[in-house]
Amino acid sequence: MYYVYVLRSRSFDELYIGSTNDLKRRLRDHNNGKHFSTRRYAPWKLVYYEAYCEEKLARLREKRLKQHGNAKRELKRRIGIQPTMILSADTQSKKVKSGAGLTLIELMTVLGMIVIIAAITAPSFASIKRGVGLNNTAQEIVSALRVAQNRAISSQRPVGNTADPINYGVHFSGSTYTLYYGNDWASAGAKEAHQLPDGTTVCPTSATDIIFNRLDGIAVSSGDVKIGIDCNGSTTRTITVAPSGTIQ
């Protein structure tokens, strides 16, 4: 077996991507300083790896992760690496004390202003909430498309399938999207169905199938995937898959 692996420095905010046919030996070599490019960031820990039956497939995946920003960002998301937020001591909240209380009239005035502001902002907040939910759903679909593409590139077979590797695709219909193994939806083998959130649907103008070619990940069936709460209005999101396999 051949492996594509990701190491993370225990002392620095650094990742390293490589390939090998012996994971334990390669990790030991990195931590013993035998590789000049990683020596200064040791010690390392293994945080992710993928197994391949052919060396050329492992090399191809390693090259894609190193040269394609989208592939690397998706890998970071998969292994749970996110930007860290650092707060300074100056951001601590401060209490402001007042020497006088509020009269009944002042209190009623403040409460009235709160009610008016809430009435004005409530529709806007609901719209923002719908937009955020739709963005999250779109990102989940992008992740499913990348999984299908990565499986096609690595020629991954479903468990128990011994036939020659074929393509992977994602089928869109109504309120579901389904990742499948096959050259088209009609002949699909293994399927992984996902339900869209309540009220969200695949719009009628959307592509119904996105299919990725084995080994190179090119989209043999491409197009725009459009989802929405109101497909005739502004509450929609579109994911574009180019023939080259680019997903955005």
User: pLDDT tens digits for 124-158?
Assistant: 666 777 788 899 999 999 999 999 999 999 988 88
User: Distance between CA atoms of 244 and 231, rounded to whole angstroms?
Assistant: 27
Average pLDDT of the segment spanning 91-100? 38
Find residue 179's DSSP bridge partners: 170, 192
Query: What's the CATH code, domain 2-66?
Result: 3.40.1440.10
What six digits make up the tokens of 178? 């389904």
The model's pTM: 0.51
| Domain residue limits, the chain | 2-66, 130-241
3-state helix, strand and coil shares in percent for the chain, rounded to the nearest 5: 35, 25, 40
Which residues 6+ apart lie within 8 Å of 93 measured at CB?
none
HEC per residue, 13-55:
CCEEEEEECCHHHHHHHHHCCCCHHHHCCCCEEEEEEEEECCH
pLDDT tens for 21-72 read 999 999 999 999 998 889 999 999 999 999 999 999 999 999 999 888 888 8
How would you list the strands of the sheet with 219-221, edge to edge?
A: 191-195, 176-181, 168-173, 209-212, 219-221
Find residue 2's DSSP bridge partners: 52
User: Distance between CA atoms of 231 and 65, rounded to whole angstroms?
Assistant: 35
Amino acid, single-letter form, for residue 85: M
Average pLDDT of the segment spanning 204-230? 93
Backbone angles phi, psi at 209, to 5 degrees: -140, 130
Average pLDDT of the residues of the chain = 85
Element containing residue 59 per DSSP (H, E): helix 55-67
High-pLDDT (> 70) share of the chain, %: 89
pLDDT at 166: 87
Q: Residue 93: pLDDT band by 50, 70, 90 thresholds?
A: very low
Q: Are 228 and 196 in contact (CB under 8 A)?
A: no
User: Distance between CA atoms of 188 and 185, rounded to whole angstroms?
Assistant: 5
Q: Are 223 and 210 in contact (CB under 8 A)?
A: yes
